[in-house]
Amino acid sequence: MIVRIEEKGAVVLIEVKEERLDAHNSGEFKGQMLNLFEEGKNDLVVDLQEVRFVDSSGLGALVSGFKNASARNGNLKLCGLQPQVKSMFELTRLHRVFEIFPGAQEALASF
Amino acid sequence: MREKIEVNIKVPNQTRYLGLIGKIGEDVARALRKYKGDREELAYHINLVLTEAMANAIRHANEGDPEKEVHITITIMGRSLNIKVYDQGQGFDICSLPSPDFKNLDEHGRGVYIIRSLMDQVTYRKVKRGGHVLEMIKTLQ
């Protein structure tokens, strides 16, 4: 699971550098977010620009991150969703849960 | 002449093969001769239902046992798409699962809902030689 983690002031930008976020790598991704929460970093932006495919496990990992961030008075926001990936959020109605931005700059500026 | 494509694959019971099978499903969608709908959307949907069904077989039915196998068939016969995913487990009836509760933000439970949303007919049954099969059917445009 390749991610690029960068601190942008008080917010952490996580760029997922994988074509797929699925049952194979979503557990590891969840672990990487948990490490950030344990370090007290509770405001995250997940950039999915390079992700072409997300399954229910990938969505589950993002839900887990969102719940963890919220429980710590933080937030997890998304950006860079490709059209097919976005349609997955609509199908499962998760587009009503997450704040979704076109790009990382907009997402970071919203905190 | 009716187009007939049949793909028959067996892979070890490990999630590292999800991408391979999903990719094969996408390529089948792209190769169809007469499909009139959005081909890239169909490719994504086939990839998705294969991934969801295989992940269920690997984790639940085959209980993560790496010695077991998952057997997949993808059949196109004219306008009918038929996908079967065979496991070697004791059975995990995904058809009996309820739809997800959209109000409670649960981490799990969306896979079967996704399969049911995208396919016309979904059944799970015992196979004589052992194990079970999840069959998913859809009529193409």
Give the tens place of pLDDT for each residue, B8-28. Answer: 999 999 999 999 999 999 999
State whether A93 and B102 contact (CB < 8 Å). Answer: yes
Average pLDDT over residues A42-70: 98
Backbone angles phi, psi at B102, to 5 degrees: -70, -20
Q: Is the ipTM of this complex over 0.90?
A: yes
B110: nearest CB among A53, A56, A64:
A56
Q: Per residue in B88-112, is it b (16+ CB within 10 Å) or e — as a string? A: bbeebebeeeeebeeeeeebebbbb
Closest CA to B48 of B96, B117, B127: B117
State whether B114 and A57 contact (CB < 8 Å). Answer: no
Q: Which residues of B touch A55 (CB under 8 A)?
A: 18, 48, 51-52, 55, 111, 114
- Asked if B48 and B118 count as a contact pair (C-beta separation under 8 A), the reply is yes
Chain A contact for B119 (CB, 8 A cutoff): no
Reported confidence tier of residue B95, pLDDT bands at 50, 70, 90? low
- For residues A75 and B3, the model is more confident at A75
Specify the CATH number for A3-109; select among 3.40.50.1820, 3.90.180.10, 2.30.110.10, 3.30.750.24: 3.30.750.24
- Cα B15 to Cα B20, B37, B63, B70, B118: the distances in Å are 10, 30, 12, 10, 22
What distance in Å separates the CA atoms of residue A80 and residue B130, rounded to the nearest whole number?
45
Domain boundaries, chain A: 3-109
Q: What is the DSSP letter of B13?
A: S
Please give the share of chain B, as a percent, with pLDDT higher than 90. Answer: 74
State whether B113 and A92 contact (CB < 8 Å). Answer: yes
Size of the A and B interface in Cβ pairs below 8 Å: 66
State whether B47 and A22 contact (CB < 8 Å). Answer: no
Q: What's the half-sphere exposure (Cβ side, CA atoms, 13 Å) at B124?
A: 19
Structure confidence at residue B86 (pLDDT): 96
State whether A22 and B41 contact (CB < 8 Å). Answer: no
Does A103 score more than 80 pLDDT?
Answer: yes
Q: Is A7 exposed, middle or buried (0-12, 13-18, 19+ CB in 10 A)?
A: exposed
Tell me the CATH architecture of domain B4-139: 2-Layer Sandwich (3.30)
- Asked if A111 and A43 count as a contact pair (C-beta separation under 8 A), the reply is yes
Whether the model pTM is above 0.90: yes
